[in-house]
Structure 1
Amino acid sequence: MTLRTRRPLDLAATATATALLLGACSTTDSDAPGSATTEGGDLQEVTIAVHNGWDEGIAVSYLWEAILEEEGYSVELEMADPGPVYTGLAGGDFDLNFDMWLPVTHADYLEQFGDDLEQLGAWYDDARLTIAVNEDSPLQSLEDLAAQPDVVGNRLVGIEPGAGLTRITKDEVIPTYGLEDLDFVESSTPAMLAELSGAVDAGRDIAVTLWRPHWAYDAFPLRDLEDPEGTLGEAERIETVGRTGFAADFPQLASWLGEFTLTGEQLFSLENLMFNENGGEKNEESAAQWLADNPELLEDLTAASGA
């Protein structure tokens, strides 16, 4: 699915703040069609690939779309599963992705495509994979899940088959804890969240694959199962990654991205606004509102970049 969103933001506060950060950009005509550039020397058109269902990446992609379109870039968001995203980046079909989890979750993609990618910086450093249950579940750990699978109807509800979380659940969690007889349902993030919502509403126990930060922890009464064997890994960083040649084609944007970070509180509030309060239906407006409510993000980037 391709989302093209070219409508300029109508929040004066956001426009003023982004102008302080990025400076006035203008496009210049070029002899070659499609090669318009900004005043900073970047190509004007940017294609951001977004992982289906990975809400932190969706939220940050819309956040940067809001910033860049205020500055004269033409931004296209394209949603796909991680495999096609990294294949497309390596092949030059996409310019940018904000959601590479390292060193574990997307390590296989980095190994496969790393020679054709540019790592542009980590913007978050406390991302965690989880197996979550309803807060009042009698299960406390993954060992309990193995011993009492009937509590959750012998099911573990997962997300997309191509997700790193799915691979780690199958290759590490299930064999380590002896969960082979559990029905591991590979579906999609929206389908998993729908099942989670239905189970909570019905007062039914459920176990799902999830990750932190995620707005679901605010929307539903959840807690994580303990993982004494460490199969889900430690805290990871989330990196921005571009196609080969990205920094050469977008030197100014690459420098901004290298300075970009979010705190856990910032990321949670952005996701919560976009997906919990606004139901994922007003992503452009949510990003604009969040920028207006959080001017310190752009102020910090301004200071770090010397803009």
Structure 2
Amino acid sequence: MQKLSLGIALTALAGSVHAADMGAVDEPIKLAINEWTGQHITTHVAGEMLKAAGYKVEYATAGMMNQFQAIADGDIHATLEIWSSNVSDEYAKKIAEGNLVEIGDLGLDAKEGIAYPAHVAELCPGLPAWEALKECAQNFATAETIPNGRLVDYPADWGTPGADRMTGLELPFKAVPAGSEGALIAELRASTDRKSPLLITFWQPHWAMSAYDVKFVDLPAGEEACFNDPAWGPNPNAINDCDFSPTRIFKAGWVGMQDKWPAAYEILSNYALSVEAQQPMMGEIDVDGGSVEDVVAKWMADNEGSWRPVVDAATK
């Protein structure tokens, strides 16, 4: 996917929307806050756009995997950064029931995979080829995983994509869920400082990709057959013997939102965010110690020409 600046993406979209009724401006629109910094940025930018349009906004903490029931019930009204690679079955169920609706792609150019800090290639010759992990797994072993290597997987409530690949590819690694995004970053920092071995499930966009020189393992291409047909791929007895499927990042909302807040629905439907906009803000928060609110407020002030057209097109 070609990366677009946020300004180009939003301005282009603004030309395709039309002013809508504001709806119930006296009632707050509740946006889901999930567990990672990028999602906080995505959601707060959207929230500030809604406030600029004249809406009240509340942020509701919700687990990525369990938020969809709350949205289907109308207790939360939108979630703005869903990653297709680890969306729950509950999401598909609520879409099928008609209580939840997709409201467009977010526009981030994303990738997920099994990764390692660049120095680890010296500890596991043959990387980035995935086959190299068969021969050097013992270098990654810890007291809780020996004789297998240790893979630091996503937090448990994000799903088990790393573990799935270790099983599918018959790699001698035990997946250990991280406690949080912060715990994943702490692993990368410690490995980089100590030049110690680390295998981790990770993603981009993320400021840590450049800060810790993170590389992805080259896995077999993530084609649809890999996830359904055991005969596909290097392991004839298992599915998931491949890379993550290409990641789509999208938005969804309560089915009643369009009728209750028509202009807000238009704004969120046409809202897009680029890697170039999101990733520097991640760094300002997670590296420099800024608050989400302050970093987003500064970005909104510096880039009004980028987001204002979408708000105006939906409200004027």
SS of equivalent residue, structure 1 residue 136: helix
Please give the residue correspondences for 1:1-307 in structure 2 after superposition, counting only pairs within 5 Å. Answer: 40-43=22-25, 44-53=27-36, 55-102=37-84, 104-106=85-87, 108-114=89-95, 115=97, 116-138=99-121, 139-153=127-141, 154-163=149-158, 166-171=159-164, 173-179=165-171, 181-187=172-178, 188-230=180-222, 231-277=242-288, 279=289, 281-301=290-310, 305=314, 307=316
* Whole-Å separation in 2 of the counterparts to 1:92 and 1:299: 27
User: In the TM superposition, what whole-angstrom CA distance separates every residue of 1:46-76 from its partner, at most 9, and x where no partner exists?
Assistant: 11112213x2211111212233334443322
* Whole-Å separation in 1 of the counterparts to 2:81 and 2:29: 16
Report if aligned partners of 1:158, 1:189 keep a CA contact under 8 Å in 2: no
Are the structure 2 counterparts of residues 197 and 306 from structure 1 closer, same or farther at C-alpha, using a change threshold of 3 Å?
same
Q: Give the AA of the match of 2:175.
A: F
Q: Which moved further from structure 2: 138-147 or 182-191?
A: 138-147
Are the structure 2 counterparts of residues 306 and 66 from structure 1 closer, same or farther at C-alpha, using a change threshold of 3 Å?
closer
User: In the TM superposition, what whole-angstrom CA distance separates every residue of 1:88-124 from its partner, at most 9, and x where no partner exists?
Assistant: 112222111012223x431623322212211111112
TM-superposed deviation, 1:168 = 2.6
Report if aligned partners of 1:129, 1:212 keep a CA contact under 8 Å in 2: yes
Q: Gaps spanning 5+ residues in structure 2: where? A: 1-13, 15-19, 122-126, 142-148, 223-241
* Whole-Å separation in 2 of the counterparts to 1:135 and 1:108: 35
Q: Give the AA of the match of 2:291.
A: K
Q: Give the AA of the match of 1:76.
A: E
Residue matched to 1:32 = none
Equivalent pairs: percent with the same residue? 22
* Whole-Å separation in 2 of the counterparts to 1:145 and 1:62: 40
* Whole-Å separation in 1 of the counterparts to 2:260 and 2:308: 25
Over the aligned positions, Cα root-mean-square deviation in angstroms equals 2.5
Question: RCO higher in 1 or 2 (8 Å CA, sep ≥ 6)?
Answer: 2
TM-superposed deviation, 1:209 = 0.8
Q: Give the AA of the match of 2:114.
A: I
SS of equivalent residue, structure 2 residue 293: helix
Report if aligned partners of 2:65, 2:87 keep a CA contact under 8 Å in 1: no
Q: Which moved further from structure 2: 254-263 or 226-235?
A: 226-235
TM-superposed deviation, 1:305 = 4.9
* Whole-Å separation in 1 of the counterparts to 2:167 and 2:174: 13
SS of equivalent residue, structure 1 residue 142: coil
TM-superposed deviation, 1:42 = 3.8
TM-superposed deviation, 1:191 = 1.4
TM-superposed deviation, 1:210 = 0.8
Are the structure 2 counterparts of residues 126 and 109 from structure 1 closer, same or farther at C-alpha, using a change threshold of 3 Å?
farther
TM-superposed deviation, 1:288 = 0.7
Q: Give the AA of the match of 1:210.
A: F
* Whole-Å separation in 1 of the counterparts to 2:261 and 2:310: 17
TM-superposed deviation, 1:284 = 0.4
SS of equivalent residue, structure 2 residue 206: coil
Q: Give the AA of the match of 2:58.
A: E
User: How many residues end up aligned between the 2 structures?
Assistant: 263
* Whole-Å separation in 2 of the counterparts to 1:304 and 1:70: 13
Q: Gaps spanning 5+ residues in structure 1: where? A: 1-20, 22-37
Task: Report the TM-score when normalising by structure 1.
Answer: 0.77
Q: Give the AA of the match of 1:123.
A: L
Task: Report the TM-score when normalising by structure 2.
Answer: 0.75
Q: Which moved further from structure 2: 108-117 or 284-293?
A: 108-117
